[in-house]
Amino acid sequence: MKHTPLYGFGKIFAQPLVYPFIPYRTQGRENVPEDRNFILCSNHLGISDPLRRASIGDRELCFFSKAELFQNKALAWLLRSLGCIPVQRGRGDVGAIDHASEVLEHGGIMGIFIEGTRSRTGEFLQPKAGAVMLAYQHHVPILPVCITPVGSKRPRLFHRAIVAYGKLIEPEELGIQEGRGSEYRAASRLVMSRIMELRDPKTEEK
C-alpha cells in the first residue's frame, strides 16, 4: 500500500523531530519482513507507542485507535490521514474489522495492540483475540513486538523504551483449525507469550 501524503511527510520530517522526546532503540529489526503483509502485535504502554512502532521501515503501518478520539473533526482528519482506523472498544466492531481486512488484502501492514488498552503499570494484560482472528482469516503471519520502558517498570509520558521485534509467527503456528472461540483464545495467549519473551527484565532497572 502507498503512503498517505501526511504519513509520508511524518516519516521524513516529523519523526526525527519527535525522537528526542520519545527516545527508543530497536532490537531484532532483521525479523521485520520487507515483502510480505503481516499483523504487528505489541503490548501498549502509552500514547507515544504508535510513533515507536512506526519505526519498522518505509512501509505504512495502519493501526486501530479508540473511536472516542475521532469525535473531534480536526483530530479525526489527522488520525485518518496517518492511517488510523477507529474502533469501538469492548464490543465487536464489524466496520473496523472490515477496514483492517481491506488493509491486509491489499498487501498492507496492520498494527494491533493485543491487550486492547494501555497498561498503566507496565505489566502485561490479558490479550484480545482480534489479531489472531484476522491472521487466521487472511492467512498472514503475526510479528510479535515488545515495548519495554527503560529505567522503570511504570511507563511515563516521555519514557525511554526498547522496541524488540521477534520472529514471525506463521498462521499455521496459531493452531486454529475451525475458527472457534477457544482456538482464538489459545492463539492469542501464544502470541502474548512470544511478546513477553522479548522483554529483558534488566532493561527496566537501567
Half-sphere exposure of residue 88: CA atoms within 13 angstroms, side-chain side: 5
Task: Give the DSSP H or E segment for 54.
Answer: none
CA 193 to CA 83: how far, in whole Å?
A: 28
Let me know: does 38 contact 142? Beta carbons within 8 Å. yes
Let me know: does 53 contact 143? Beta carbons within 8 Å. no
Q: What is the pLDDT of residue 165?
A: 94
- Mean pLDDT over each residue of the chain, to the nearest integer: 83
Let me know: does 53 contact 154? Beta carbons within 8 Å. no
pLDDT digits (tens, 9 = 90+) for 143-180: 999 998 887 766 666 678 889 999 999 999 999 999 99
pLDDT digits (tens, 9 = 90+) for 112-149: 999 988 888 888 999 999 999 999 999 999 999 999 88
Cell of 42: 505489541
User: Which stretches does DSSP call E strand in 19-67?
Assistant: 24-27, 38-42, 61-66
